[in-house]
Amino acid sequence: MRLNRAVQAGQVDLEAWQIEIQQLFETEIGTHFEAEEKEMFPAAARFPEMQALVTELLAEHVLLRHCFSQAAARSLDEENLRTLGEKLANHIRKEERQLFEGMQKLMSPQELGTIGAALDQALKNASEACLLPNQATRLRPMR
């Protein structure tokens, strides 16, 4: 959301955003993707009505990883940043509105609890996105 707002407002420091995007992927999103791919997606794919959605989400992970690697290489322009923000927001909404809702309809509370515990374990070393940056990781202010 912050990225989308910054792009819309014309307040984009490309270098700073790419640094932040790279750090976010390395400290949280990459681990999050791996946990989903290991724990949630296979569990959901057991149900025929969820298989196409899981395939779509996996393809989006590939595309998003490519975008994150472009940020790490500092090769994103403002349009690519906007596209990344939109794709990530749409992906998250799809997981929340389609994957999670579908799993809740199809799985027992016990199955969901087991998957939740496995996700907690897989994500235990991922950093929190809302932690305040320390001096070494603080980004310069947006202009």
The pTM score is 0.82
Q: Which of 12-16, 79-83, 104-108 has the lowest mean pLDDT?
A: 12-16
Q: What is the mean pLDDT of the chain?
A: 86
pLDDT band, very low/low/confident/very high, at 4 (cuts 50, 70, 90): confident
Average pLDDT over residues 54-82: 95
pLDDT band, very low/low/confident/very high, at 117 (cuts 50, 70, 90): very high
Q: Token pair 């472009």 is at which residue?
A: 70
Average pLDDT over residues 59-63: 98
Domain boundaries, the chain: 2-122
pLDDT band, very low/low/confident/very high, at 39 (cuts 50, 70, 90): very high
Structure tokens at 38: 């290991």
Decide if pLDDT at 72 tops 80.
yes
Average pLDDT over residues 108-135: 76
